[in-house]
Copies of this chain bind each other. A is one copy, B any other.
Amino acid sequence: MLATGSREGKGTDKKSARTRLRILDAAAKVLSTKGYAGMRLSDVAAEADLQAPAIYYYFSSRDDLVEEVMWVGLADMRAFLTTALADTPADATPMDRILVAVEAHLRHELEISDYATAAIRNSGLVPEQIEERHRAEEKKYGAIWRDLVKAAAEAGEIRDDLDPYLAQMLVMGTINWAAEWWKPQRATIDRVVANAQSYVRHALAPVDR
Contacts and interface: CB of A to CB of B under 8 A. Distances in A.
Given A38-B37, A173-B175, A175-B173, A180 B125 contact: no
Nearest to A122: B35
A165 interface: yes
A198 B172 CA distance: 16
Interface residues of A, number: 46
Given A37-B38, A198-B159, A165 B180 contact: no
Given A165-B186, A187-B163, A207-B202, A174 B170 contact: yes
Contact of A166 (B173, B191, B209): B191
Interface string A4-44: 00000000000000000000000000000111111000000
B170 A199 contact: yes
Contact of A124 (B33, B162, B169): B33
A126 to B, nearest CB: 9
Interface string A119-159: 00101110000000000000000000000000000000001
A200 interface: yes
Interface in A162-209: 162-163, 165-167, 169-170, 172-178, 180-182, 186-187, 191-192, 194-196, 198-200, 202-205, 207-209
Tallying the copies of this chain within the complex gives 4
20 contacts: A33-B124, A35-B36, A35-B38, A36-B38, A121-B124, A159-B198, A161-B198, A162-B198, A163-B191, A165-B187, A166-B191, A170-B195, A173-B174, A173-B177, A173-B181, A176-B180, A199-B204, A200-B203, A202-B202, A207-B208
Interface of A: 33-38, 121, 123-125, 159, 161-163, 165-167, 169-170, 172-178, 180-182, 186-187, 191-192, 194-196, 198-200, 202-205, 207-209
